[in-house]
Amino acid sequence: MKCPYCGYKESKVIDSRPAEEGSSIRRRRECLSCAKRFTTYETVESLPMVVIKKDGSRQSFDKRKVLNGMIRACEKRPVPFEVLEQKADEIEQTLQNSLEREVSTEYIGELVMDKLRAVDEVAYVRFASVYRQFKDIDTFMKELNKLLEGK
């Protein structure tokens, strides 16, 4: 690690501890040349993920968008915010574990619906109605019947 004071490339680690809820490590270092101390942070490098939208355009994956969609579906429902955050984290982890660098919005939407179905059925139907763009009451009823058959 290069010293920010003198530029020397050798340092020793004095102290290490978890930071940011365990997602990184904070290290106190001491330069072997000038003996000044400085702090570094070590984090896991995650590969960028690209989302392919329905119109064919691409944009980088943003977990906040997934979480915001789930929050909207759960409006006025007794679902704690922490549960939604956990489900969004699980979706992001599933996508990272797939090792695919490009994912479709359809796949992400299906993952969200699976998570919402387990959390709150009303929120699931709300999300599905927007996501699947129900055109009439018949398609809405078909989705409800599928949900009832699953019980």
Per-residue model confidence (pLDDT) at position 149: 78
pLDDT at 80 over 80: yes
66-103 residues labelled b (16+ CB within 10 A) or e (exposed): bbebbbebbeeeebeeeebeebbeebbeebeeeeeeeb
Please tell me which residue, 31 or 127, carries the higher pLDDT value: 31
Dig out the tokens for 2 from the structure.
Answer: 């290069």
Tokens of 71: 């929050």
Domain borders along the chain are 11-43, 50-149
Cα separation of 24 and 68, whole Å?
25
Give the pLDDT band (50/70/90) at residue 121. Answer: confident
Mean pLDDT, to the nearest integer, of 55-81? 93
CB proximity list for 146: less than 8 A, separation 6 or greater: none
pLDDT, tens only, 37-57: 999 999 877 678 899 998 999
pLDDT at position 10 is: 95
pLDDT of residue 48: 82
Question: pTM to 2 decimals?
Answer: 0.63
pLDDT digits (tens, 9 = 90+) for 88-119: 999 988 998 888 889 999 999 999 999 998 99
Task: Report the alpha-carbon distance of residue 100 to residue 58 in Å, rounded.
Answer: 14
